[in-house]
Amino acid sequence: MSENPLRRLPKMDLLLARPALAGEGFPRAVLVRAARETLEEARRELLSGGLSGPPEADELADRARARAARLSAPHLRRVVNASGVVLHTNLGRAPLGMEAARAAYDAALGYSNLEYGLEAGERGSRHDHVEAILCELTGAEAAMAVNNNAAAVLVMLSALAGGKRAAVSRGELVEIGGGFRVPDIMARSGAALLEVGTTNKTRIADYEHAVLTRGAEVLLKVHTSNYEIVGFTQDTPLEELSALGRLHGLPLLYDLGSGALDREFLPGLRECPTVAGALRAGADVVCFSGDKLLGGPQAGIAVGKRTYIEAMKRDPMARVGRIDKLSLAALEATLRLYRDPAQAGARIPALAMLNAPAEALKARAEALAARLRLVLDGVCTVAAVPTEDKVGGGALPSRALSGWAAALTPLGGGVEELEAAFRAAPTPVVGRIHRDALLLALRTLSAEDEEAVVDAAKGLVGKAE
């Protein structure tokens, strides 16, 4: 029986003194943690019988160095979204354009008049920075922004429906995702839920009944962004709800979720309800996300009647969900682009991607496929293929956007391995498997992203050699 191989593992300080680790480059604490974890790993391997003898000290030092590099790399990283889903919630929803990113950068590096009135030299309100432009763009009397739309809905309900009976269609008691369920958020806000109608049909008469016989004091409408009821259905139009609200003096509150500001900004998605349209139809308050169809930073925006918005600003929940200065700066910069529809369409990346015509995507897919074919010769076949892209962000779930992708079909090995290899690239590339091919959709790729895709492919064959 030979001596215990665990004893032959180098001591911590000896490992740390090996050339691979002794050099500069990583903070001491990172090196120590990497060395400790590497030794623990080697110990586990020896105990499980996976190794015949302890690894050489230099090999362990190399492993520890690689671990230190992993520990030092930022955890939140840029990835290439080749999924064709424009507002991909898991990949950060709307990418910001240059103007918005620069505004956030400037706000981050210095002080600002965030809550300071420069003219009077006194305390100001952070809502002031976007209120006027939101009113200008949507036709609202007043506006405010909070941290996200979930917060905007909570503030709206807390301020305007707290302690009151709010009528909501049974077909609109939805879960938006991430545990945000309309009945739960109502309960948290202190609003009492009055369910109206049925899952598939809710008529104005159902709401009238709720007002006249069940004491409804608020009308709430929720845009069921992420699911659709099809078939034998009926939905009560905002116009009818608004008339009912006016007749009885009740506010009509609308959680629009993924709001485009107005029709002209998304010519290809005319079926999509808009913020300005909802106000014109008579909603008293409309709330929507900053990083869905608006194409801005994470934010929740509420627009509508002045008295209601002012009550929302005073609500303690508005303080809980307040927007931070970086998002506010990016939001203002995004909104300013909307003053010129052509500029908005070109400079707000989400709008440009959503509006991209299929022919343009086809030409780009063919060019990218040709480049990838050269790199991946003998590994994959590469073709430009038509795809069905998605809006994402819980908007228009059944709406396909006709797009184009480079389709990579591996000659040997599985498509799952190919997909994983692109995901493991230095700049990870997230594509989509369809049948036996990996699709890299052009709609969601910037020019820079296309270079990253080609680099990822080069890295792949470099490894394979």
For residue 462, the minimal CB distance to ligand PLP (Å) is 40
Residue among 212 and 229 whose Cβ is closer to ligand PLP: 229
Residue type, 177: G
Q: Across-strand partners of 288?
A: 257, 301
For residue 419, the minimal CB distance to ligand PLP (Å) is 27
Determine contact, residues 350/94, Cβ cutoff 8 Å.
yes
Residue among 255 and 449 whose Cβ is closer to ligand PLP: 255
For residue 288, the minimal CB distance to ligand PLP (Å) is 8
Residue among 176 and 368 whose Cβ is closer to ligand PLP: 176
Q: Does 456 bind ligand PLP (CB under 6 A)?
A: no
For residue 290, the minimal CB distance to ligand PLP (Å) is 7
Q: Does 150 bind ligand PLP (CB under 6 A)?
A: yes
One character per residue 293-322, x = contact with ligand PLP (rule: CB under 6 A): -------x----------------------
What is the secondary structure of 59-126 as a DSSP string?
Answer: HHHHHHHHHHHHHHS-SS---EE-SSEEE-GGGTSSPP-HHHHHHHHHHHHS---TTEETTTTEE--T
**3: enclosing H helix or E strand:** none
For residue 164, the minimal CB distance to ligand PLP (Å) is 20
What dihedral angle (degrees, nearest 10) is formed by the CA atoms of 12, 14, 19, 25? 30
For residue 258, the minimal CB distance to ligand PLP (Å) is 5
56: which DSSP letter? P
Residue among 38 and 202 whose Cβ is closer to ligand PLP: 202
- Residue from 257, 297, 410, 431 that binds ligand PLP (CB under 6 A)? 257
List the structure tokens of 240: 């009818």
Q: Which of residues 391-450 bind ligand PLP (CB under 6 A)?
A: 394
Cβ contacts of residue 362 below 8 Å, gap of 6+?
384, 386, 404
Q: Which of residues 207-236 bind ligand PLP (CB under 6 A)?
A: 222-223, 225
- Residue from 38, 83, 148, 189 that binds ligand PLP (CB under 6 A)? 148
Phi–psi pair at 361, nearest 5 degrees: -65, -35
Determine contact, residues 187/214, Cβ cutoff 8 Å.
no
Neighbours of 27 (CB within 10 A): 11
Catalog residues that contact ligand PLP under the rule CB under 6 A.
148-150, 153, 176, 180, 222-223, 225, 255, 257-258, 289, 300, 394
